[in-house]
Amino acid sequence: MTRKDEFLDILLAWTGRAVSGTVGRWVNCEPSTRQRIYFANHSSHLDILVLWASLPPDVRRLTRPAAAKDYWDKTPFRRYLALKVFNAILIERREHGGSLRSALRSVENTVAGLGDRHSLIIFPEGTRREGHEVGPFKTGIFHLAKRIPGIELVPVYMENLNRILPKGEFFPVPLLSSISFGPPLTLGDSESKHDFVKRARDAVIALGDG
Amino acid sequence: MLTDKETIRFLGSVLGILALASIAGALLARSVRAARARELVRIVNTKLRLWWVMCAVFAVAMLTGGLGSIIVFGLTSFMLLREFITITPTRRGDHHALFWVFFVILPMQYYLLAIEWYGLFIILVPVYAFLFLPLRMAVAGDPDRFMERAAKIQWSLMLCVYCVSHAPALLKLDIPGHEGAGARLLFFLVLVVQVNDLVHEFVDRWCGSKPYAPRLTEERTWQGLLAGAAVSTGFGTVLFWGTPFSVSQAAAMSLLAALLGTGGKLCYHAIRRDRQGKGVVVVESYRSMMERVISLCVAAPIFFHMTRYYFVAGPLKMF
């Protein structure tokens, strides 16, 4: 990270917290630099920024968000933000022209991108939702958990960001929001894909309920 | 603005009282042992710390002329409105209206105060904004619970922006024979309301037994209300020499401000009870700005207009 990138890192983290007025809650979970996957509900463009900004600086610098290639690779500015500042891993979404094979390749690319020390931020719903409902999860989260044995998966629930900047709006309204980090899950030895994905989704919903 | 002798004397007295109270508070915090008494001392000390901060902010605001106060209260409005709208269930269709509220109407209200355009300052929110916002929401095209949403946004705007802006508006009051009294009036209002809040809460905890609105909250009791009103009225009466008021006028204005403040707090409890347990995590984990300033919000505009009516304008002619 160069000096300029570092400056932008601090500026962005600060902006993210100011715009969203976020109150962070760690529920039976401590911030840690160990390798983790943070998975969250997704309702606003601000999600990625706010989740990333809510992590302590040392954790933040080791954490790479997975971002949709079709969106973040579109303009030079987005590409700069994604690659230099967020240090994102760009992945292809199937419904945006990727194939099943490329989806599986994305999992491999992501695992390679994490190495043995980086953590990951993913939004398993795959796209931003309107309203409060947490949508169905895609199965990438299971494949990732399977590929990196023993990794901790931390559920994250973000509230109110869809009111600050709803899908399709350009100007944010400066309301307050909150972000909750829940107790980490690990993939059980014989747990099926369906069971694990359901358990992960329920963990996010439970955080939203209180 | 701090240049005239009377304001300095007034501020000096207030700071003196505050210093004495803080010393007493610190001594009590050391000597008191019983758990209940410690809790009471803690309430007082927390409030006293808040007052030091407020005094510092006010002093800086006044040293920079009226502009500093306008910025301070403008920011207060912003944070208050932010909290208010957050706990109000608005819908997607309100997004643009909310954008106008935060980024156009709020700054404009304080801008009008800065340039002293009284005529528009006084009607911007209740006339123009109140008509414009429902129109903007209608254009957005979501009919679901339309009246309810419109009313919520309007009331938030009224309380958080319009009412709050009347506190710094006191600085602009030009009372014949009392030049520069605005700053002291602002201090007077804030002090009386705060003293009322403190005594009310203190007596509620200490010996309150009869809640006057048990469905809203068990915390607010008749004992607290009476004690708060009595002490803050006494306090305001003693400070009469710093204001344009006579002794009896100072007493009446203090009582009015205290009761309005109590009413404001009651509204806060109603809002809180209404929103409780409706899954708004934000509110639970946030140190409420509203709780601290809502009594001032409600008292400020009435205090301003009463003062203006009796000392500046008199009955306005229609044409």
Chain B residue closest to A161 (CA)?
B86
Query: Does a structural domain hold residue B275?
Result: no
Phi and psi (nearest 5°) for B46?
-60, -45
B90–A177 C-beta distance less than 8 A: no
Record: contact B82-A176, CB cut-off 8 A: yes
Find the mean pLDDT for residues B103-129. 95
B36-95 residue pLDDT tens? 888 888 888 888 888 888 788 777 777 777 788 899 899 989 989 988 888 887 888 889
Chain A: closest CA distance from residue B85 (Å): 7
Give the nearest chain B residue to A25 (CA atoms): B285
Residue B126 scores a pLDDT above 80: yes
pLDDT in the model for residue A60: 87
The dihedral built from the CA positions of residue A18, A22, A23 and A24, taken in this order, carries a sign that is negative
Res. B6: pLDDT tops 90: no
Residue of A nearest to B288 (CA): A176
Q: How many CB atoms lie within 10 A of CB B61?
A: 22
Q: What is the pLDDT of residue B3?
A: 59
Asked if B282's CB is within 8 angstroms of A171's CB, the reply is: no
What would the two tokens of residue B262 be? 């109590």
Report chain A residues whose CB lies below 8 A from the CB of B92: 130, 166
Residue ranges in chain B assigned as alpha helix (H): 5-31, 35-63, 66-87, 95-100, 106-114, 118-121, 130-140, 146-157, 164-169, 181-207, 222-238, 247-275, 281-284, 289-308
From the list B98, B279, B285, the residue facing A23 with the nearest CB is B285
Contact B281 A159 (CB under 8 A): yes
Q: Are A209 and A134 in contact (CB under 8 A)?
A: no
Nearest to A177 among B78, B92, B282 (CB): B282
Q: Which residue of B has its CA nearest to A174?
A: B82
Q: Does B77 fall in a domain?
A: yes
Residue entry with tokens 């500093």 = B68
User: What contacts A69, CB < 8 A, 6 or more positions away?
Assistant: A90, A91, A92, A93
Beta strands in A50-147 (DSSP E): 63-68, 89-91, 119-122
Q: Could you tell me if A210 lies within 8 Å of chain B, comparing CB atoms? A: yes
Among the partner-chain residues A163, A180, A208, the one whose CB lies closest to the CB of B90 is A163
**B140 pLDDT higher than 60:** yes
Residue B310 pLDDT > 70: yes
State the DSSP string of B236-285: HHHGGGGSS--HHHHHHHHHHHHHHHHHHHHHHHHHHHHHTTSS-HHHHT
Give the pLDDT confidence score for residue B81 in this predicted structure.
92
How many structural domains does chain B have? 1
Question: How many domains in chain A?
Answer: 1
Considering only CB atoms, A175 lies closest to which of B86, B92, B285, namely: B86
List beta partners, residue A25: A180
| Type of residue at B145 | R
Segments in chain A below pLDDT 50: none
Report pLDDT digits (tens) over B166-175. 999 998 888 8
Structure confidence by residue, pLDDT tens digits, B224-270? 999 999 999 999 999 898 888 999 999 999 999 999 999 999 998 88
How close, in Å, is residue A169 to chain B by CA atoms?
A: 9
pLDDT of residue B130: 96
Helix axes B130-140, B146-157, angle to 10 degrees: 140
Q: Which of A176, A207, A209 is best to mutate for the B interface (most B CBs within 10 A)?
A: A176
User: Residues B217, B41: contact at Cβ < 8 Å?
Assistant: no
CA distances, A194 to each of A94, A143, A200, B94 (Å): 20, 11, 10, 38
CA distance B193 to B302: 13
Residue with tokens 């601000």: A46
Inside any domain, residue B209: no
Segment 90-109 of chain A within 8 Å of chain B by CB: none
The yes-or-no verdict on residue B158 having pLDDT over 90 is yes
Per residue in B145-156, pLDDT (tens digit) is 899 999 999 999
A 3-32 residues with CB below 8 A of B? 21, 23, 25
Residue B122 in domain = yes
- What is the per-residue pLDDT for B316? 62
Contact B281 A25 (CB under 8 A): yes
- How confident is residue B314, by pLDDT bands cut at 50, 70 and 90? low
Q: Domain range for residue A9?
A: 3-209
CA–CA gap between residue A119 and residue A101 (Å, rounded): 24
Residue B110 lies in a domain: yes
Closest-CA residue of chain B to A167: B92
| CB atoms A166 and B95 under 8 Å | yes
Q: Could you tell me which residues come within 8 angstroms of residue B309 by beta carbon, excluding any fewer than 6 positions away?
A: B315
Q: How many CB atoms lie within 10 A of CB B210?
A: 10
Q: Give the range of the structural domain holding residue B80, as residue numbers without chain letter.
A: 65-172
Q: Do A21 and B90 touch (CB under 8 A)?
A: no
CATH of the domain at A69: 3.40.1130.10
Residue A99: per-residue pLDDT: 66
B60 backbone dihedrals φ, ψ, rounded to 5°: -60, -45
Evaluate the CA torsion angle A9, A14, A20, A22 in order and state its sign: positive
Residues of B in contact with A175 (CB under 8 A): 82, 85-86
Return the number of CB contacts < 8 Å for A and B: 48
**Number of other residues whose CB lies within 10 A of the CB of residue B91:** 16
Cβ distance of B86 and A176 shorter than 8 Å: yes
Residue B132: is its pLDDT beyond 90? yes
The string of pLDDT tens digits covering residues B186-226 is: 889 998 999 999 999 889 988 888 999 999 888 899 999 99
* Mean pLDDT of all residues belonging to chain B: 87
Q: What distance separates the 2 farthest-apart alpha carbons in chain B?
A: 66
Q: What angle do CA B197, B198, B199 make, to 5 degrees?
A: 100
Inter-chain CB proximity A178 and B85 less than 8 Å: no
pLDDT of residue B105: 97
Report the pLDDT value the prediction gives residue A103, as an integer from 0 to 100. 72
d(CA B92, CA B142): 8
Nearest-Cα distance to chain B for A166, in Å, is 7
In a domain, residue B221? The reply is no
- ipTM (interface pTM): 0.76
- Collapsed DSSP state (helix, strand, coil) of residue B1: coil
